[in-house]
Amino acid sequence: MIQAPRGTKDILPAQASQWQFVEGIFREITARFGYREIRTPVFESAEVFSRSIGEATDIVNKEMYVFDDRGGNKLTLRPEQTAALVRAAIQNGLAARGEIERLWYAGPYFRYERPQKGRYRQFHQFGAECLSSPHPESDTEIILLAAAVTKALGIDEFRLNLNSLGNKESRGSYREALVNFLYAAKEKLTEESQQRLVENPLRVLDSKAPQDIEACVGAPAILDYLDTESKEHFDTVCSILSECGIEYVINPNLVRGLDYYSHTVFEFQSTALGSQDAFGGGGRYNDLFQELGGKATPAVGFAMGIERLLLIIESLGKFPAGEKRADISVIVQDIRFSGTGNDIARQLREKGYSVLTDISRRSFKSQFREADKSGAAYSVVVAETELGQGKVLLKNMQSGEQREVLLSEIKELAL
Ligand code: AMP
């Protein structure tokens, strides 16, 4: 039997309604914040990501699906959205004259990771990006949006980790101090982190290996290296969040995996998840437009993993009650009446009801059984006696009550 590739999942109809619930909430909340949708291709030129996420990151080094197409173009299945969205913005002139663009997206992303609970090779994210504002009010808008989505999904308990990576200058002086500190403790680091120390020292702070965590105790904190501009920016973010009643924890070790962040970075965590406890994150990326060949454009955004949100909502038991397949089932006593049955269904659907008809040529009795199973609130019964008088029976499936309805009145039927 041919199996789905490792790290991928089929989303079956029973789960699809849960996905629709989560995606529906996201659409609703982003609309309330005035965000508009953008869709970009699932594959991009590989350099979109290698130039932006950074050559020395796990995503680019180990996890990207890169391939040559038949024309010899080096392509990649997108591992995330931000860089591709910036590519699209530059190409299409979005935010080109400094106008604010509020954008949201949702779709599949691909990383060649070791699959485990909450970690897949094809996974799904939704997120939002706010282009053109350098001000902390746009950082907080994005965080407030992410928090509003989380709460609307019924996830009341979460931890919001917050940090600032400052501007380039702050980061430069911090990097120096960190490298000095870590070099002194080099022997205690894992081999991987010793490598990071050379290529991308901030990422050592990101390591989950106990050995590295221990070696980082007492490391200089970036917040002590912020210059006045960076510090003011971060202080304003913190005070707006506090005024809005959003709780956060300042975590100086939060650097996020990607190279393109500056100033605010944040991550949402839930205790309902196992080791993969982050369900969303983001930050500001003021240099990304230029790195991809565009005009300098400040921007900030976040992304959330849909699979992880589903795991949390499931564990909290917060999914809405089971789906209903149809409002009305049309039941025909005899196959001779299937034309009439279908015409009744057509009229009811035009009125906006969801209607099931029998397409299995089942017996009269088993059509009733099916109607019960479908959860339809009503059934329309097309039977010889009533049909002779130009009527059908309308049955309330819950109370069992039934009444006659003229065929000519079907199109005005109100339930
Ligand atoms: P990132 O782009 O790495 O910051 O990821 C943002 C969010 O996407 C994470 O917080 C996860 O919820 C989700 N995510 C990232 N990688 C995966 C993966 N391999 N499988 C499932 N979800 C993921």
What pLDDT is attached to residue 208? 84
Does 242 score more than 90 pLDDT? yes
Cα 72 to ligand 1 centre (Å) = 30
Read off the pLDDT of residues 117-150 as tens digits, 9 standing for 90 and up: 999 999 999 999 999 999 999 999 999 999 999 9
Point out the least confidently predicted range of 45-54, 65-74, 269-278: 269-278
What pLDDT is attached to residue 200? 86
Number of H helices and number of E strands within the chain?
A: 14, 16
Q: Are 292 and 87 in contact (CB under 8 A)?
A: yes
Mean of the pLDDT values across residues 67-85? 97
What is the pTM for the complete model shown? 0.92
Mean pLDDT score of the chain: 94
Does 257 score more than 80 pLDDT? no
What pLDDT is attached to residue 57? 80
Question: Which atom of ligand 1 approaches the CA of 120 most closely?
Answer: 20
Point out the least confidently predicted range of 108-112, 201-205, 243-247: 201-205
Does 92 score more than 90 pLDDT? yes
What pLDDT is attached to residue 38? 98
Does residue 78 have its Cβ closer than 6 Å to ligand 1? no
Other Cβ atoms closer than 10 A to 272 = 17
Question: Nearest to residue 51, comparing CAs of 263, 284, 290, 285?
Answer: 290
What pLDDT is attached to residue 323? 67
Phi (first) and psi of residue 223, to 5 degrees: -60, -25
Burial of 35 from C-beta contacts in 10 A (0-12 / 13-18 / 19+): buried
Read off the pLDDT of residues 196-239 as tens digits, 9 standing for 90 and up: 898 889 989 988 899 999 999 999 999 999 999 999 999 999 99
What pLDDT is attached to residue 399? 95
Does 274 score more than 80 pLDDT? no
Question: Which atom of ligand 1 approaches the CA of 303 most closely?
Answer: 6
Read off the pLDDT of residues 349-365 as tens digits, 9 standing for 90 and up: 999 999 999 999 999 99
319: left (phi over 0), alpha (psi -120 to 50) or beta: beta
Does residue 109 have its Cβ closer than 6 Å to ligand 1? no
Does 253 score more than 80 pLDDT? yes
Burial of 113 from C-beta contacts in 10 A (0-12 / 13-18 / 19+): middle
Does residue 307 have its Cβ closer than 6 Å to ligand 1? yes
Mean of the pLDDT values across residues 383-397? 96
Burial 313-348 (b: 16+ CB within 10 A, else e): beeeeeeeeeeeebbbbbbbbeeebbeebbebbebb
- H or E segment and range at residue 370: helix 364-374
Q: Which pLDDT band, with edges at 50, 70 and 90, does 153 fall under? A: very high
Does residue 125 have its Cβ closer than 6 Å to ligand 1? yes
Does residue 123 have its Cβ closer than 6 Å to ligand 1? yes
Tell me which residue has tokens 């079956």: 12
In the chain, what percentage of residues exceed pLDDT 70? Answer: 99
Q: Which pLDDT band, with edges at 50, 70 and 90, does 22 fall under? A: very high
Strand 328-332 relative to strand 355-357: parallel, antiparallel, unpaired? parallel
Point out the least confidently predicted range of 128-132, 169-173, 233-237, 298-302: 169-173
- Whose alpha carbon is nearest atom 2 of ligand 1? 80
Does residue 358 have its Cβ closer than 6 Å to ligand 1? no
Structure tokens at 227: 């210059």
Alpha-carbon span 178 to 262, nearest angstrom: 17
CA 136 → CA 70, 258, 297, 308, distances in Å? 46, 21, 15, 28
CA 188 → CA 193, 217, 337, 372, distances in Å? 10, 12, 81, 66
Q: What is the dihedral of CA 161, 165, 166, 172, to 10 degrees?
A: 160
Q: Are 397 and 371 in contact (CB under 8 A)?
A: yes
